[in-house]
Amino acid sequence: MSGNGDSTSRRALVALGRDPLAVTGGVVLVLLVVAGLAGSWLAPAGINEVDVDRMLQPPSWAHPFGTDELGRDVLSRVLVAARVSLQVGAVSVGIALLAGVTLGLFAGYYQGWLDNVLMRCMDVLFAFPVLLLAVAIVAVLGPGLRTAMVAIGVVYTPIFARVTRAGVLSVREQVFVRAAVATGASDLRIMRRHVLPNIAAPLIVQTSLSLAFAILSEAALSFLGLGVQPPEPAWGRMLYDGRGFVTDAWWLGFFPGAAIFLTVLAFNLVGDALRDVLDPRQLTVSEARRNAG
């Protein structure tokens, strides 16, 4: 079934290239990755260069995003913090993807009591508001980047499990799966070679949208002081530190927040475009009709 996967990705790339919003989102993401990889090198000043003589300076040519309450260059900190957001997004969604897909595969493939037990466990996790559960996990394990990533990974696992299970339930009834069973292929081989490639489309869409939510969740945790710890910069933490000065120094609140917004928007734009291309069942009836016309 690998040919299916290739044509899916080619189709997705071509369609994404034609969608101006997806291209805009993609450009922002490329810039973000550049900032994430080379932020320290691109930053005009050191992220922890404290200078009380230049504290709370408004944006200027020397400091385009101004300086904070310790005189540190806000642009440099915003650039370097991109790495944290990308890292949290990638690792936490990676955890959720791995755990959720594994659980959903087994639940959907074997059904019966295993399905019941696994999906009820997912229902339990779903009963908690996302941020509240993440806060609780971080509170117990201790604040920090690593625990924030684990917490966000755990709270987004159920959605991947549900998406995977729903896909498996429809694919396992297909003729090619039954044929594979008849040839004596092992369950693991069938899942890996025949089921997984055929449920890749909704998973790719879910991954893109979850990256947006994961970055938003990390920003919220950092805003509460439970994510990245100072002096390392994180957008949410910068907003938290700057909130006391917001009426006197608007730039402290504006730029880190704008960075979060643009990043999340970019992932959402790409995710929406991917969904339109890869998962047309998600479209409303009339949208599908209009697209067909």
Partner 1 sequence: MTRFILRRLLQSGIVLLGVTLVVFLLLQLVPGDPVRVALGTRFDPETYEALRSRAGLDQPLPVQYASYVGQALTGDLGVSFRSGRPVTEIVLERLPATLSLAITAVVFALLVAFPLGVLSALRSGSVFDHAARVFSQFGVSVPDFWMGIMGILLFAGVLGWFPPSGYVALTEDPVGWASHVFLPAVTVGLVTASILTRFIRSSVLEVLAEDYVRTAEAKGLPTRVVVVRHVLRNALIPVVTVVAVQLASLLGGVIVIEVLFAWPGVGRLTYDAVQARDYPVLQGAILLVAALFLLVNLLVDLLYARLDPRIRVR
Residues at the site binding partner 1, with contacts judged by CB under 8 A: 120-121, 123-125, 127-133, 135-142, 212, 216, 219-220, 223-224, 226, 236, 239, 242-243, 246-247, 250, 253-254, 256-258, 260-261, 264-265, 268-269, 272, 284-287, 289-290
Closer to partner 1 by CB, 190 or 270: give it. 270
How many angstroms separate the first and last alpha carbons of the chain? 30
Closer to partner 1 by CB, 100 or 236: give it. 236
Distance of closest approach, residue 263 Cβ to partner 1, in angstroms = 9
Distance of closest approach, residue 71 Cβ to partner 1, in angstroms = 21
Beta strands in the chain (DSSP E): none
Q: C-alpha 285: how far from its chain's center? A: 28
Distance of closest approach, residue 253 Cβ to partner 1, in angstroms = 4
Closer to partner 1 by CB, 110 or 254: give it. 254
Distance of closest approach, residue 219 Cβ to partner 1, in angstroms = 6
Place of tokens 């402290």: 252
Please list, residue by residue across 100-112, b when 16 or more beta carbons sit within 10 angstroms of its beta carbon and e when fewer do.
Answer: bbbbbbbbbbeee
How far apart are the C-alpha atoms of 287 and 289, rounded to whole Å? 5
CA distances from 20 to 23, 28, 128, 207, 278 (A): 5, 12, 37, 21, 17
Query: Can you state the angle between helices 2-18 and 20-42, rounded to 10 degrees?
Result: 90
How far apart are the C-alpha atoms of 44 and 238, rounded to whole Å? 18
Distance of closest approach, residue 189 Cβ to partner 1, in angstroms = 33
Distance of closest approach, residue 113 Cβ to partner 1, in angstroms = 14
Closer to partner 1 by CB, 189 or 289: give it. 289
Closer to partner 1 by CB, 104 or 190: give it. 104
Question: Longest C-alpha distance within the chain, in Å?
Answer: 77
Distance of closest approach, residue 138 Cβ to partner 1, in angstroms = 8
How many CB atoms are closer than 10 A to CB 194?
A: 20
Distance of closest approach, residue 137 Cβ to partner 1, in angstroms = 8
CA distances from 102 to 117, 127, 139, 208 (A): 14, 21, 27, 18
Closer to partner 1 by CB, 155 or 195: give it. 155
Closer to partner 1 by CB, 46 or 129: give it. 129
Task: Write down how long the chain is.
Answer: 293
CB 12 within 8 A of CB 207: no
Closer to partner 1 by CB, 47 or 226: give it. 226
